[in-house]
Structure 1
Amino acid sequence: MSGWRQSARLSAAKAQKGASTSKVAQAGAKGGTSDKHAGNKESISDDNLDEPEDEDEEMDSGSDVEYGKPPPGKKQKLDNSGQRGILPRSTDKNKNENECLLVKMPVNILFEIFGLCPPQDLLSLSCASHSLRTHLLSQTDPSRGIWKAAREYAQGPPVGPGMTESQWARLIFGKPWCQSCGAPNVQRVDFRLQRRACTTCLKENLVVTSEFKSTFPDIEPSILDLLRHTNIGANGRASKSRWYWHEDVEDMVRELESIERGDHVRVRGALKKEAFIAGRKKLVKAISEHAKICGEWKLTAAHRRQEEKNELSRQRYNDLKAKFIELGYVEADINSIKGQKVAEQPTPLTERDWERVRSPLEKTIEAAKSKRLYFERKAVVDKRRNVAEGLYNKYRRSIVPSQWRSLPPLWSFLAKPVFKDILEAADDLEVTELHFQPALDSLPAMVLSLQTGRSAHLLELIQTPPTTPAQADAEPGEILPSPPHPYSLDSALAVFVCEQKCKAATPPGSSGSPIPAYVGHEAAAAHHCRGSYYSAIHGHYQTVFQLSKGGVLAASALLKSVGFDDKATCAQMDTLDARFVCQVCPARKVSGKLTYWVYPWRAAITHFAHTHQTKPCVPQWELLDPARTELVKGRETDSTLSWACNHCAQHAKQCETRAKVVQHVESIHAISNPSVAVDFFRLVDLDPIPATLHIPKEVMPPPPPLQDQYNCLQCAGEKPSARARLFILKGVKTHLKEKHKVDWPMEGRDWRKVPKT
């Protein structure tokens, strides 16, 4: 059949099929059938638009189209003025320029070319010209072989039952358009319905079994056995229900009516109808079985496409890596671009693409290069630092262990030029212990210099006179607090804190809480902020002290409770070895009894400076009597890992408890009754858990009496702060004379005594 005749035949079939559809819709409307889809526009599926009539006949089992009528004539075109007339034809020159030379090739050559094309290209060629369409969509063996070879080459699933190779190719490999409304980007194909439809069309056209009777009241439900169905609704989720396509129901009704209207006798017609029904049931079953195969193919195809994308991504990354290697970068730095979208997207790398992505990727590689060089350099420096650390530990073991407390850490020396020059030498220099020998020889002098500088810094804090907090409205005679202040490094008031707000270093495995305040020169000299070589060369973690105001106040109150003045020394308090109870802290109820924490004098000061620093308060202490002091000393246990032997370097790396160190001194060094600071010492300042003591409430002494204080009655009409101002007797009289010009102040009229509470 010629191309013109086939096209005309297809047009006539479509026109008559549309007219027949309208009649069936009108008949259904009169009979009460739902006309929801009667006015829908003709489907733009492959069955109606893209295939000739021969293929449509293969898809359907019968047709009610009559071919006796000629196709409708074309309307005459209008010219620019809107009048019918003969439009000028294009010249032969333009016609020759626009004519496709591919259609002039011999058929055998065309079929050789078609045999090398994938399904997508065959679909595009079938829409390129009428001649190519005729060749590709003809139901000849060569044409079917071309489509089959293309499908197998693309690893597509077998052809669906009731469909041709070209129809199946358009459904699987065609553009993702909805076959009903033409909506784009419709990726899901329902293989049970053999249709690609958008969500909107699915909602409008799918009919569930439970609603079939209400949608088609005049149609027997037995017709559903002849229709394709799916178990996936418009929501995209599978279920046990069955959905049918609305137009399939109408088409099947027309198909059955066409068979019944045949010119054959009743018996022959009945046989034909029975054969048709049996064939349809067999076809529906085959479609359902085929859908399972397509579902497995879909998963396999998705996995294959992902593998292809991964391969493209790997190839793109390898191409980028090759180009950056040509620029002089190393693979370790280039690996930093892994994971970036522009480096691993599944598209080939072109020169234009390379120019676009080079700059941002090169910045990432440069950053990785800088980071790599930094860590390579750090590894070299750390290796040299380990050599210096070994020499420093040898020096540390060579001195008396009690000197370890004030020995500065290694990192404080590494910033010195004698160490720094070796650590920062070129990478090709293999540093050994001999390189550090000059630095090791000068180590005692550097230790003495650092210790002297620490003592000078602490002495400067001591020699700085205390500043009395000024008040804007202070007057002569007004009570202003004069804070206590230490006047020597050995003073018991010498309480320091680190400006870095750090605590004493806690060795691994040690128990107890680090002391936040340092009482006395020796405790301050033993503190060193945590740091490293890198922090030292940049000036970080430099230990800077300041006097602890709360600690000095607590120490002053402590000295007064034992009868000492502010000039008492740490040695005097150590000799006294008294125990104290903080009266600011409330009692703890243990087993129905009120118990109090009991502290040695240093622990009492650090307790107050640490615990009561957030809420300023006046320190108040109770000195225990000798009997209770001995009782508490018997209960005290020091389980902190902070003690070391003073005769060997056994505990240079790991301190032990006091009991274990005493046992070590007695067993190893054969010293009975070892003494503190002579045979063993506390290397790390860790505050042990204080002992507790039950003190009956009636035994607790009352708070110390307050000094008599007075108010000025002449200030009664002023602001509340002026009315509540406190004076001593001499001060209130001076205040009345200076401010209120009262030369002879009298009690009850000008001033009054504040009652004690």
Structure 2
Amino acid sequence: MLLELLPHSNTGSSYRGKYYQMKDIVDIGAEWAIIKKGSDADIQEFKDKKKSESEEIMTHGAFCKTRERDQSILKRQQNREMREPRRNEIVTRCHSWRERRRIVEHRQAVAGNLIKDYYATSDIPSAFRLRSWNLFKTEPFRAIIDLPNGVTVTAAEFQPAMDALPDLVSNTARETQSILLQRMINGGATNINYPITPSDFGKLELATSTFFCESSSNDDGLPVCGGDDMDSHRCYTFPAPATRYQCLSYGHRTSSEVVALLAAANLDPNTTADQMDQLDLRFHSPSLPDKLHRLAMSWRDAAFYARNFDQLEPNSWEVLSPEDTAAIKQKEKANTGDLRLRFRCNICIHSDWIRRPDVENHLRGRHQIIDHSDPTTEFEPHSKIPPHPVIFSQTEESSASLTV
């Protein structure tokens, strides 16, 4: 009887019957224990009051439930109505972005071909030229590349940018070379005029213009010499203000070492780094301590040791004879412990520089080439990173010649 006076729910663990809150049952039980002792009128008044409260609660609950359901249905309808336009907007925007990227890449390709054709006849060293991706960021090229999608862009539209290209490239090249020459002056170089003039720019190509990278371990401590070496140096970026060149410092002591090497080899003091790389001589210094005096090394390695040892006189160095040099190069080729990144696969379309111990593994894993008689023939050696110095035998040491 009392349960009929309480609000209930038709939903429970079994989804059938009526469900009441325990608190309501306890409360009405306590009230009934008092009311039942009263008159019949009091009992009827109590029942009518509880029944009225229960009906009000049930009515409100049904309203809330209906309202909640109606709100949920309305929200789903609104979301459904918003979803399709929103989806269409997103799809349209994605298509626009994809189309924009394709258009920009096409315009950059057109500009890149024009820049490549210009550089084919330019007398500015490649090391000091603005790269295409940097030129794309300059105002003359950006004004064309950033045109709306609907505008047709051909090579003719880039003519104003191409007209401005010579000044852009030459100004950046002058700035770049002036910064490096100023570093040489600050480092103690005496063969650079001050103030710097364009006639000094060619001195950056000399073997005696030795720089060292202070932030990269990829050079194995070897000097960065010549425009091509600077061009391939990973820390060397264009265009850049002076602060970006902090990674390269001029080594005056090493420059004096290279002067001694040139004198020992009877070469002109103005020999370029590229010429030294092409000669590919092998030096050794009998006065170096420990086993270092038995090392046969390239001119770049010899310059490296100048940072730690005083070997600045021509008579401190000997140049190995062509016969001895050939024998040393065979030992260098067979040195599987050379850990310098100086081999790049000729078979792969895109290949990174790898170390000598990885050569056989690369051929075996990538190209299924096993038992190659000379695996290094399938690789391009790095022109600016020489083989690791090797120790030549006592017989070879005693036959070392002072002439090239």
| 1:389 matched residue in structure 2 | 112
Q: Do 2:235 and 2:247's aligned partners in 1 also have CA atoms closer than 8 Å?
A: no
Aligned equivalents of 1:318 and 1:388: distance in 2? 51
Which of 145, 169, 174 is the equivalent residue of 1:452? 174
What whole-Å deviation, never above 9, does each CA across 1:351-391 have from its counterpart, x for those lacking one? xxxxxxxxxxxxxxxxxx8x998877555433322221233
| 1:580 matched residue in structure 2 | 283
Return the letter of the residue paired with 1:694: F
What whole-Å deviation, never above 9, does each CA across 1:106-146 have from its counterpart, x for those lacking one? xxxxxxxxxxxxxxxxxxxxxxxxxxxxxxxxxxxxxxxxx
Size of the aligned set, in residue pairs, is 303
Counting aligned pairs with the same residue, the percent is 17
What whole-Å deviation, never above 9, does each CA across 1:402-448 have from its counterpart, x for those lacking one? 96555432123223221121122334323222211232344344333
| 1:494 matched residue in structure 2 | 209
What whole-Å deviation, never above 9, does each CA across 1:318-368 have from its counterpart, x for those lacking one? 854644777xx555659xxxxxxxxxxxxxxxxxxxxxxxxxxxxxxxxxx
| 1:623 matched residue in structure 2 | 318
Aligned equivalents of 2:213 and 2:146: distance in 1? 31
Which of 214, 224, 235 is the equivalent residue of 1:518? 224
| 1:153 matched residue in structure 2 | none
Listed as ranges, the matches of 1:539-550 within 5 Å are 544=245, 547-548=248-249
What whole-Å deviation, never above 9, does each CA across 1:555-583 have from its counterpart, x for those lacking one? 4345446657xx94444983986423488
Return the letter of the residue paired with 1:496: F
Aligned equivalents of 2:109 and 2:161: distance in 1? 14
Aligned equivalents of 1:90 and 1:443: distance in 2? 104
Return the letter of the residue paired with 1:548: S
| 1:90 matched residue in structure 2 | 42
Cα distance, 1:455 vs structure 2: 2.1
Q: Do 1:377 and 1:427's aligned partners in 2 also have CA atoms closer than 8 Å?
A: yes
Task: Classify the secondary structure of the residue corresponding to 1:487.
Answer: coil
Aligned equivalents of 1:427 and 1:316: distance in 2? 38
What whole-Å deviation, never above 9, does each CA across 1:197-246 have from its counterpart, x for those lacking one? xxxxxxxxxxxxxxxxxxxxxxxxxxxxxxxxxxxxxxxxxxxxxxxxxx
Aligned equivalents of 2:121 and 2:235: distance in 1? 22
What whole-Å deviation, never above 9, does each CA across 1:660-708 have from its counterpart, x for those lacking one? xxxxxxxxxxxxxxxxxxxxxx9985414346342339969xxxxxxxx
What whole-Å deviation, never above 9, does each CA across 1:249-284 have from its counterpart, x for those lacking one? xxxxxxxxxxxxxxxxxxxxxxxxxxxxxxxxxxxx
Q: Do 2:282 and 2:319's aligned partners in 1 also have CA atoms closer than 8 Å?
A: yes
Task: Classify the secondary structure of the residue corresponding to 1:408.
Answer: coil
Cα distance 1:428–1:542, how it changes in 2: closer, same or farther (>3 A)? farther
Cα distance 1:635–1:86, how it changes in 2: closer, same or farther (>3 A)? closer
Cα distance, 1:456 vs structure 2: 1.7
Cα distance 1:89–1:486, how it changes in 2: closer, same or farther (>3 A)? farther
Task: Classify the secondary structure of the residue corresponding to 2:169.
Answer: helix
Aligned equivalents of 1:634 and 1:85: distance in 2? 119
| 2:393 matched residue in structure 1 | 695
Task: Classify the secondary structure of the residue corresponding to 1:428.
Answer: coil
Residues 1:432 and 2:154 are matched in the alignment: yes
Return the letter of the residue paired with 2:256: S
Aligned equivalents of 1:502 and 1:321: distance in 2? 57
Listed as ranges, the matches of 1:545-584 within 5 Å are 547-548=248-249, 551-560=251-260, 568-571=269-272, 574=276, 578-581=281-284
Cα distance 1:320–1:381, how it changes in 2: closer, same or farther (>3 A)? same
Residues 1:461 and 2:183 are matched in the alignment: yes
Unpaired runs of at least 5, structure 1: 4-45, 51-75, 104-312, 335-368, 467-484, 505-512, 589-594, 610-615, 644-652, 656-681, 701-757
What whole-Å deviation, never above 9, does each CA across 1:173-211 have from its counterpart, x for those lacking one? xxxxxxxxxxxxxxxxxxxxxxxxxxxxxxxxxxxxxxx
Cα distance 1:94–1:395, how it changes in 2: closer, same or farther (>3 A)? same
Aligned equivalents of 1:541 and 1:88: distance in 2? 104
Q: Do 2:207 and 2:258's aligned partners in 1 also have CA atoms closer than 8 Å?
A: no
Cα distance, 1:90 vs structure 2: 3.0
| 2:144 matched residue in structure 1 | 422
Aligned equivalents of 1:98 and 1:494: distance in 2? 103
Listed as ranges, the matches of 1:112-127 within 5 Å are none
Cα distance, 1:600 vs structure 2: 2.2
Aligned equivalents of 1:540 and 1:372: distance in 2? 39
What whole-Å deviation, never above 9, does each CA across 1:59-88 have from its counterpart, x for those lacking one? xxxxxxxxxxxxxxxxx9558xxxx95467
Answer 1 or 2: which has greater helix percent. Answer: 2
Listed as ranges, the matches of 1:213-232 within 5 Å are none
Q: Do 2:283 and 2:318's aligned partners in 1 also have CA atoms closer than 8 Å?
A: yes
Aligned equivalents of 1:600 and 1:497: distance in 2? 17
Cα distance 1:530–1:546, how it changes in 2: closer, same or farther (>3 A)? closer
Cα distance, 1:517 vs structure 2: 3.9
Cα distance, 1:542 vs structure 2: 8.9
Residues 1:632 and 2:328 are matched in the alignment: yes
Aligned equivalents of 1:503 and 1:387: distance in 2? 37
Q: Do 1:496 and 1:518's aligned partners in 2 also have CA atoms closer than 8 Å?
A: yes
Cα distance, 1:99 vs structure 2: 3.9
Aligned equivalents of 1:543 and 1:683: distance in 2? 29
Task: Classify the secondary structure of the residue corresponding to 2:394.
Answer: coil
Cα distance 1:423–1:571, how it changes in 2: closer, same or farther (>3 A)? closer
The two structures have a TM-score, normalised by structure 1, of: 0.30
Cα distance 1:462–1:320, how it changes in 2: closer, same or farther (>3 A)? same
Aligned equivalents of 1:634 and 1:487: distance in 2? 38
Cα distance 1:406–1:547, how it changes in 2: closer, same or farther (>3 A)? closer
Aligned equivalents of 2:244 and 2:381: distance in 1? 19
Task: Classify the secondary structure of the residue corresponding to 1:548.
Answer: strand
Q: Do 2:343 and 2:381's aligned partners in 1 also have CA atoms closer than 8 Å?
A: no
Cα distance 1:93–1:319, how it changes in 2: closer, same or farther (>3 A)? same
Q: Do 1:528 and 1:543's aligned partners in 2 also have CA atoms closer than 8 Å?
A: no
Cα distance 1:447–1:322, how it changes in 2: closer, same or farther (>3 A)? same
Aligned equivalents of 2:121 and 2:217: distance in 1? 26
Larger radius of gyration: 1
Cα distance 1:413–1:632, how it changes in 2: closer, same or farther (>3 A)? same
Unpaired runs of at least 5, structure 2: 2-13, 19-31, 56-71, 193-202, 334-341, 353-379, 399-404
The two structures have a TM-score, normalised by structure 2, of: 0.50
Cα distance 1:683–1:395, how it changes in 2: closer, same or farther (>3 A)? farther
Aligned equivalents of 1:516 and 1:332: distance in 2? 57
Return the letter of the residue paired with 2:324: R
| 1:129 matched residue in structure 2 | none
Aligned equivalents of 2:220 and 2:152: distance in 1? 40
